[in-house]
Amino acid sequence: MSRRSRPLKILEFFLKNIILYEDQENLAGDFEEMYERISGKNGKALALLWYSLQIIKLIPSYFKNYTYWSLAMIKNYLKIAFRNLTRQKGYSLINITGLAVGMACAIFILLWAQDELNYDGFHQNKDNIFRVATLFYEEGGTFHGAQTPAPVASFLKNNFPEIQKSTTVNFGWLTGNSRNIIKLGEKSFYTDDLILTDPSFFDIFSFPFLQGDKKTALENPNSVILTHSTAEKCFGSEDPMNKTIQVDGNPVTVTGVIADVPQNSHLRFDVVLPLIYVRNTNREFFLTKWDSYGFATYVTLQDGVAINEINQKIDDLIRKNDPNFGDTAAYIFLQSLSKIRLFNVDGSVGFMRYVYIFSTIALIILLIACVNYMNLSTARSGKRAKEISLRKVVGSKRANIIWQFFSESMLYACISFLISMLIVILLLPQFNELTGKQISFNSANPGLLFGLFVVALFTGIIAGSYPALYLSSFIPIEILNKSKSTGAKKSPLRKILVVFQFSLSIGLIICMTIVSAQVGYMRDAEIGFEKENVITLPISGKIENIVESFKNELKQNPDIVNVSLKSTSPLSPGGTSGTISWEGKNPDLKVNWSLPMVDHDYFKILNMKIVDGRDFSREIKSDLQEGFILNEEAVRQGNIQNPVGKQITVNSKNGIIIGVVKNAKLNSLRFAISPQAYHLSKTMGEQFQTLFIKIDSGEDDHPFNTITASLAHIERVWKKFMPDSPFEYRFLDEMLENQYRTEIRISRILNTFTFLAIFLSCLGLLGLTSFMAEQRTKEIGVRKVLGASITGIVILLSKEFAKWVLLANLIAWPLAYYFMSQWLQEFSYRIDIGIGTFIASAVIAFIIALLTVSFLSIKAALANPIESLRYE
């Protein structure tokens, strides 16, 4: 017999796999017979061709059949899943609640993170906008700044062809006032958000004009651009164009109205003046001054210019141009717009840290919810073991079972997803309040929709993975052989999952405690001055002549303890110095001190302690010109031995150090204290900007009444002396509190999510305990009949969980310690992480777990054994 020719093995394999199972054997045989015949008659090549053609022809029907049967099976899987869901309502409720809450958290944080990542994202050429940042070298390291001298912008544009456009922005101090008064007829109000800039500002940034022309709006020195809501505040529904308003008493004409600045812009303003607004004033010289770092500079680059390349060319620009380049050594470089919000100027992770932290927390919460699902599904597997075995016996492959359990977890994920969307939509206003954002649910955003899809899919897959693999591994003969179900046999992974879950919860409790402690510390820390009952009012420098009579008239009210003045806004340390030297100064030392001008009462009003030397005195006339009081930080940084009595020269003004004052931490404790030299007279054209008034409410039974009465008195005096300025006061302690807005907010968000994580963990523990108790009903019954006490049984049931929770601590402690010490690095003044926090967190977690478990174990222990043993 001649050798039979057979089709290629690989083709045969293909054929076999795409024919419907029931037709597999005979059809493959038929094809092979035909193949052989053709190969005998027409040659092997033609036979192969024919055979391949048959395969190709079969492909469409293969797909049709495959889809049909898959859908049929999925329909069956979902039907069974749905029956299980409704049969065990308690477990299903725990599962769905857990997953829905977890997903809602994840979606909230997704929305939040997206909002943060899109900061400044509304500018049309957002990828090509850069801020010019500065790098200072000084004693004690480097220091980064986000502001440059004013001439940098035009110098860059004129001397570097790589720079396409440039603009300078001043955030208001150039007007000489820390807050600016907008006045129209009888109406007047303060604005904190006034900027001065040049016309190219609106070429670089996309702030759309509602009225007026962006090219000409800032050409005239007396022009002003208002945002829509400011224009409305001034003019109501009238047309504001070409009308005149007063800014700090100077008439300016409205030449443009722009839309309100979006909430996610790092530039915030409501009034825009041209830089040339200050021409012919004593502050005009700042526009050409090379050593005053008080202007933000933004540039756009020509196409194809690499940022590193241009950075190298411009870095020593200030050094070359500053004729007085002395104590400070500044370099400049470009920082891209997209990094301004989330990264520090030096490129290190700034606010981005919180995006990372909260994304991680969202993931943790979602994982905890998934772990609950895994635990409950596998714990309940005893009830499913027979079903799985039977499916296997009638021909299911392992892959089919895996598919079954994935479609089941997907069903749960879908139901939970719908509920979580409901939660998100309902709670969005509360979430916005918590985070201080204005996030709206924009379903048209493709990135967001993709994110939501990923959240749902991720949950379904992670939650379903372990049950699918575990349950599909059952061996039918073992399960069907036994009369009793064994599915709930001890699974080590389940314990590991509970430990994992509690590690995460304990970790979060520790983080929450430390963050709250740090925030509390910053709010209550020893700040070196008294902040209570002090109100601050912005004043303009023009009052110098009337200041004494003004103060005296204020003090006529016996409740007004003291009045003082300062040359900076209330919490600012003040502008930094030009050149400073003193007796015995190391000539290589570079210093950068703040030079606030104050009056005689400043230290008294804030009750700042003079630690060495003496306070300014009205009796000693020379203090007015020569007296300098340093703070402790200036003495430390300058390494000045016995400072009192030493000669000091500040901006070529000679004086004597008469005292040293305790550090006053006016700034957020996030930042280190700055060295300061207080003085009474001008060293570089300062003006008084802030009025401090201390009100006594000490022994009064009704401090509120005293303060109200005093405020009425202050307002009367204010109106008399300063009829043009609105009376808008602020309490100093409130302003200090406001500096910690971000930290307080972060702490609150963390508290909320920690609470949710613990809630979810307990939910899972509750489900697991109730299952265990159910499994051991008979055992408990027998034990009770034989004389076990209720306490003994409660301990028996709780013992195991207690062990797991204790174990979880071992994992949580080092992780939490690591992350929290990283976070605390950000703060110049920070708390120590004590072991107490860890132990307290462990105890809290332990008690919560114990309460959860004992709730059910006591119920199980109290059950009458007759009930549980009756059916034997």
Partner 1 sequence: MKSLTRKEELIMLSILNLKNNAYLVAIVDHLSQATDKKVSLTSVHLPLNRLEKNGLIQSAFGEATAVRGGRRKKIYTITKPGFEALEEHKRISDLLWENYVKYSSSKD
Residues that bind partner 1 (CB under 8 A): 4, 6, 12, 25-34, 36, 54, 57
Query: 18 vs 34, which CB is nearer to partner 1?
Result: 34
Nearest to 153 by CA among 36, 317, 18, 364: 317
Query: 54 vs 359, which CB is nearer to partner 1?
Result: 54
Query: 15 vs 849, which CB is nearer to partner 1?
Result: 15
Rounded to a whole number of angstroms, the minimum distance from the CB of residue 45 to partner 1 is 19
Query: 27 vs 276, which CB is nearer to partner 1?
Result: 27
Query: 30 vs 800, which CB is nearer to partner 1?
Result: 30
Tokens 């993170």 belong to 113
Whole-angstrom Cα distance, residue 256 to residue 227? 8
Rounded to a whole number of angstroms, the minimum distance from the CB of residue 28 to partner 1 is 6
DSSP character string of 443-498: TT-HHHHHHHHHHHHHHHHHHHHHHHHHHTT--HHHHHHSSS--TT---HHHHHHH
Angle (deg, nearest 10), helices 352-379 and 790-824:
160
Rounded to a whole number of angstroms, the minimum distance from the CB of residue 29 to partner 1 is 3
Rounded to a whole number of angstroms, the minimum distance from the CB of residue 39 to partner 1 is 12
Query: 50 vs 521, which CB is nearer to partner 1?
Result: 50
3-class DSSP assignment, residue 210: strand
Rounded to a whole number of angstroms, the minimum distance from the CB of residue 103 to partner 1 is 47
Whole-angstrom Cα distance, residue 526 to residue 609? 12
Nearest to 499 by CA among 794, 796, 802, 848: 802
CA 313 to chain centre: 35
Rounded to a whole number of angstroms, the minimum distance from the CB of residue 76 to partner 1 is 23
Q: Residue 573 in contact with residue 676, Cβ under 8 Å?
A: yes
Strand 560-566 vs strand 690-695: parallel, antiparallel, or unpaired?
antiparallel
Rounded to a whole number of angstroms, the minimum distance from the CB of residue 27 to partner 1 is 8
Query: 31 vs 205, which CB is nearer to partner 1?
Result: 31
3-class DSSP assignment, residue 814: helix
Nearest to 367 by CA among 806, 862, 696, 764: 764
Whole-angstrom Cα distance, residue 410 to residue 467? 12
Whole-angstrom Cα distance, residue 446 to residue 741? 32
Q: And the tokens for 588?
A: 């290589």
Radius of gyration over alpha carbons of the chain, in Å?
37
Query: 54 vs 742, which CB is nearer to partner 1?
Result: 54
Query: 42 vs 282, which CB is nearer to partner 1?
Result: 42
Q: And the tokens for 836?
A: 């107490």
Query: 15 vs 805, which CB is nearer to partner 1?
Result: 15
CA distances from 851 to 102, 540, 696, 791 (A): 22, 63, 50, 14
Rounded to a whole number of angstroms, the minimum distance from the CB of residue 21 to partner 1 is 14
Strand 194-197 vs strand 271-274: parallel, antiparallel, or unpaired?
parallel
Query: 31 vs 406, which CB is nearer to partner 1?
Result: 31
CA distances from 561 to 380, 605, 610 (A): 73, 8, 20
Rounded to a whole number of angstroms, the minimum distance from the CB of residue 22 to partner 1 is 10
Rounded to a whole number of angstroms, the minimum distance from the CB of residue 17 to partner 1 is 15
Whole-angstrom Cα distance, residue 695 to residue 535? 8
Long-range Cβ contact pairs of 841-848 (< 8 A, separation 24 or more): 841/506, 841/509, 841/510, 841/513, 841/812, 842/506, 842/806, 842/809, 844/509, 845/502, 845/505, 845/506, 845/509, 845/758, 845/805, 845/808, 845/809, 846/802, 846/805, 846/806, 848/758, 848/762
- In 10 A of CB 659, how many CB atoms? 21
Whole-angstrom Cα distance, residue 238 to residue 393? 83
Q: Is 167 exposed, middle or buried (0-12, 13-18, 19+ CB in 10 A)?
A: buried
Rounded to a whole number of angstroms, the minimum distance from the CB of residue 49 to partner 1 is 14
Query: 42 vs 312, which CB is nearer to partner 1?
Result: 42
Query: 31 vs 136, which CB is nearer to partner 1?
Result: 31
Rounded to a whole number of angstroms, the minimum distance from the CB of residue 52 to partner 1 is 14
